Structure 1
Amino acid sequence: MLRLVEVEFRKLRGSLVLLLIALPPLLPGLLIALAIASNEGSPQWAQILDRLTLPLWAMFLNPTLLATLATLMGDIEYRNNGWDFTLTQPHPRWSIFLAKLTVIVPLHAIMIAIAVGFAIAMGGAVGSITGNYPNGDLALNEYAIFVVRMTAGSFGILALQFWVALRWRNFLLPLSLGIGGTLVALAVLLTGTRDADWFPWVVALRSALGETTAQFAWTGLAMGVVFCALMLLDLQRRTFR
Structure 2
Amino acid sequence: MHTMFQIISEQFSNFKIIRRMAKFDDRATYQSHYLGLAWEFLNPLIQIGIYYLVFGVALRRGDPMPGVPYLPWMVIGITPWLYMSKTVLDASKSVYQQVGLASKMKFPVSILPSIKIMGNLASFWTMLAFSVFLMLVNHIYPTASWIQFIYYFICMIVLLYAFGIFNSTVTVLIRDWQITLQSILRMLFYMSGVLFNFETSSFPRLLIRILELNPFYYVINGMRESLLNKGWVWQEPNLTITVVFWTFTFIVMVFGTFLHNKFRANFVDLI
TM-score after normalising by structure 1? 0.61
1:138 alignment partner, one of 136, 142, 157: 142
2:90 alignment partner, one of 69, 83, 89: 69
Alpha-carbon distance in structure 2 between the residues aligned to 1:137 and 1:72: 40
Alignment-derived partner of residue 6 in structure 2: none
Alpha-carbon distance in structure 1 between the residues aligned to 2:18 and 2:117: 12
Map 1:1-241 to 2 at 5 A: 2=14, 4-5=17-18, 8-9=21-22, 11-12=24-25, 13-15=27-29, 22-26=41-45, 46-48=68-70, 51-57=73-79, 61-70=82-91, 73-74=94-95, 76-77=97-98, 83=100, 86-89=102-105, 91=106, 95-122=107-134, 124=136, 133-139=137-143, 140-165=146-171, 167=172, 170=175, 173-183=177-187, 186=190, 191-192=207-208, 194=210, 197=213, 202-209=214-221, 211-212=237-238, 214-219=242-247, 221-226=249-254, 227-238=256-267, 239-241=269-271
Larger deviation, residues 2-11 vs 101-110: 2-11
In the TM superposition, residue 153 of structure 1 has moved relative to its aligned partner by 3.9
Alpha-carbon distance in structure 2 between the residues aligned to 1:216 and 1:110: 29
Q: Secondary structure of the equivalent of 1:135?
A: coil
In the TM superposition, residue 135 of structure 1 has moved relative to its aligned partner by 1.9
Instruction: Give % identity.
Output: 9
- Contact 1:70/1:158, CA 8 A, preserved across alignment: yes
Is the alpha carbon distance of 1:87 and 1:152 closer, same or farther for their aligned partners in structure 2, counting shifts above 3 Å? closer
Is the alpha carbon distance of 1:233 and 1:72 closer, same or farther for their aligned partners in structure 2, counting shifts above 3 Å? closer
- For 1:65, give the aligned amino acid: K
Q: Deviations over 1:59-78 (max 9, x none)?
A: x535532343225634642x
TM-score after normalising by structure 2? 0.56
Q: Deviations over 1:161-191 (max 9, x none)?
A: 33344x1695x63243132255257459763
- Contact 1:153/1:216, CA 8 A, preserved across alignment: no
Q: Deviations over 1:2-27 (max 9, x none)?
A: 37536633651312596775444445
In the TM superposition, residue 203 of structure 1 has moved relative to its aligned partner by 1.9
Q: Secondary structure of the equivalent of 2:142?
A: coil
Larger deviation, residues 143-152 vs 44-53: 44-53
- For 1:162, give the aligned amino acid: S
In structure 1, stretches of 5+ residues that fail to align are 37-42, 125-132
Alpha-carbon distance in structure 1 between the residues aligned to 2:48 and 2:131: 4
Alpha-carbon distance in structure 2 between the residues aligned to 1:19 and 1:6: 20
Is the alpha carbon distance of 1:6 and 1:113 closer, same or farther for their aligned partners in structure 2, counting shifts above 3 Å? closer
Q: Secondary structure of the equivalent of 2:140?
A: coil
Alpha-carbon distance in structure 1 between the residues aligned to 2:104 and 2:173: 19
In structure 2, stretches of 5+ residues that fail to align are 1-12, 32-36, 58-64, 194-202, 223-236
Alpha-carbon distance in structure 2 between the residues aligned to 1:107 and 1:215: 29
Is the alpha carbon distance of 1:104 and 1:116 closer, same or farther for their aligned partners in structure 2, counting shifts above 3 Å? same
Alignment-derived partner of residue 231 in structure 2: none
